[in-house]
């Protein structure tokens, strides 16, 4: 594909930039379009992955067929099978009529599955069957139906890690990843950042009927040095903010820095790939073990502090009394000790152990025995819900889990 042909595609789909990796991604999309191969588009959130399925569809033999874009992460787990594959009347509560589903509607066309990494495992199995044989079954039906659909998927999730965590099927990954397209993040696109800023500034000047903002030389350096965690989407939002708010149409470094989050307002550093800390409940057991480990460390520190205080006062007569502190992340009560002036922390649900000189129970072991992993998890979820006044979306973000997982956990622990 020549540069002139790629340039035409960029103009048609509103893609700005001359970065080599971006040009390569466009070239692959055009080359694979005439085939029926499945394509997996990867890249960070906000890089513009949604443009590539449209390129593939418009340059394919299916361009006159249906093009349906589906955000898999926005559909609740209980209804996603119905949305994708349809359902029969009476298949479940509320199914007052028959539904065709996206795979039925897009027969002969293209389906774009955005955030495909958010699909639940049962739905992944259904999708794999469509990819392998073009067959699917509606919810509540026993009749096998056929569809001729081109599937293009996209994700910002590390699917290799998701496979290792048991959250994504390996066989589905290889069927989707027949042709991979990697969209580069904005921080790696060099001068494209300045080009995009100019384009957005021009668009907003026309939209709001005002002179376009322009960057000074030091402003350009700040723009190029910023890491842009939100990628093109973040750049567009900031450009719009500046266009509306600033009366001075020349934007220098000082003005621009005022619109950039401070924690990211640093010079560009080398990006690390393949290193991502998994704090989701896809590895919940590991997280809960870490919580217990941290609690043990806190108890050890507390014991040491009590010993030091008692030693300074010269009153450590009974080490069991000095070490009788029980710690929990839940609400605790401070009560006077039996034989010491140092307060003892006792959880309401734990009976105090009578101190014995010869047979003293280690506090760390007691905490491990009295708290189960499920109790800790339940308490974490309950606290997050209380903190956000029952708003599940905010609680899920605070816990670093998806809303779908939070709904399941709330039902499992009877917190609703």
| pLDDT per position as a tens digit, 156-173 | 999 999 999 999 999 999
pLDDT at 344: 45
Hey, what are 40's tokens?
A: 């997996």
C-alpha to C-alpha distance for 199 and 212, rounded to whole angstroms: 10
| pLDDT per position as a tens digit, 328-339 | 444 444 444 444
- Strand partners of residue 114: 71
**The domain made up of 374-413 is a member of CATH 1.10.3470:** no
**Mean pLDDT of all residues in the chain?**
82
| 31 or 4, which is more confident | 31
List the domain boundaries for the chain.
3-184, 190-259, 374-413
Within 134-252, where are the H helices?
159-164, 170-176, 192-208, 217-225, 231-245
Hey, what are 352's tokens?
A: 């105090």
Query: Which CATH architecture group holds 190-259?
Result: Orthogonal Bundle (1.10)
Which pTM does this prediction carry?
Answer: 0.63
Task: Report yes or no: 297 and 305 within 8 Å, Cβ to Cβ.
Answer: no
Hey, what are 296's tokens?
A: 């043990």
Hey, what are 350's tokens?
A: 């734990």
Mean per-residue pLDDT for 114-140? 96
Is 90 exceeded by the pLDDT of residue 42? yes
pLDDT at 289: 56
| pLDDT per position as a tens digit, 282-332 | 445 556 656 666 777 777 777 777 777 777 766 544 544 444 444 444 444
* CATH tag, 3-184: 3.40.50.300
Give the dihedral sign, CA 364/366/371/372: positive
pLDDT at 288: 60
Q: Which of 72, 71, 54, 70 is nearest to 62 (CA)?
A: 54
| pLDDT per position as a tens digit, 43-80 | 999 999 999 999 999 999 999 999 999 999 999 988 99
Q: Regarding beta strands 135-137 and 144-146, do their DSSP bridges make them parallel or antiparallel, or are they unpaired?
A: antiparallel
């Amino acid at each position: 594909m020549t540069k002139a042909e790629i340039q035409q595609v960029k103009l048609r789909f509103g893609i700005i930039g001359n970065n080599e990796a971006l040009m390569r991604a466009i070239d692959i999309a055009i080359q694979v379009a005439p085939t029926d191969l499945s394509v997996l588009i990867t890249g960070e959130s906000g890089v513009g992955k949604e443009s590539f399925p449209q390129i593939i569809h418009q340059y394919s033999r299916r361009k006159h067929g249906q093009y349906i874009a589906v955000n898999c992460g926005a559909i609740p787990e209980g209804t996603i099978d119905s949305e994708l594959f349809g359902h029969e009347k009476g298949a479940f509560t509320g199914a007052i009529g028959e539904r065709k589903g996206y795979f039925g509607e897009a027969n002969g066309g293209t389906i774009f599955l955005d955030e495909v990494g958010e699909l639940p495992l049962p739905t992944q199995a259904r999708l794999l069957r469509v990819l392998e044989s073009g067959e699917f079954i509606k919810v509540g039906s026993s009749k096998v139906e056929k569809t001729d659909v081109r599937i293009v998927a996209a994700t910002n999730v590390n699917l290799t890690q998701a496979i290792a965590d048991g959250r994504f099927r390996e066989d589905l990954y290889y069927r989707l990843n027949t042709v991979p397209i990697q969209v580069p993040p904005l921080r790696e696109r060099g001068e494209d950042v300045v080009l995009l800023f100019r384009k957005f500034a021009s668009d907003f000047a026309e939209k709001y009927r005002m002179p376009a903002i322009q960057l000074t030389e030091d402003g350009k350096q700040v723009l190029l040095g910023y890491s842009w965690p939100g990628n093109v989407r973040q750049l567009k939002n900031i450009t719009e903010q500046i266009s509306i708010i600033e009366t001075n149409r020349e934007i220098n470094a000082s003005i621009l820095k005022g619109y950039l989050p401070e924690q990211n307002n640093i010079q560009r550093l080398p990006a690390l790939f393949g290193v991502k800390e998994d704090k989701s409940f896809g590895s919940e057991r590991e997280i809960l073990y870490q919580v217990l480990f941290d609690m043990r460390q806190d108890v050890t520190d507390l014991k040491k502090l009590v010993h030091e205080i008692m030693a300074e006062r010269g009153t450590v007569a009974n080490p069991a009394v000095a070490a009788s502190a029980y710690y929990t992340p839940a609400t605790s009560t401070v009560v006077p000790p039996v034989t010491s002036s140092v307060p003892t922390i006792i959880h309401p649900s734990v009976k105090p152990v009578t101190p014995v000189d010869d047979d003293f129970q280690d506090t760390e072991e007691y905490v491990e025995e009295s708290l189960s992993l499920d109790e800790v998890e339940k308490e974490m979820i309950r606290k997050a819900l209380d903190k956000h006044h029952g708003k599940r979306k905010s609680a899920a973000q605070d816990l670093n889990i998806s809303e779908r997982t939070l709904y399941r956990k709330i039902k499992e622990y009877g917190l609703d």
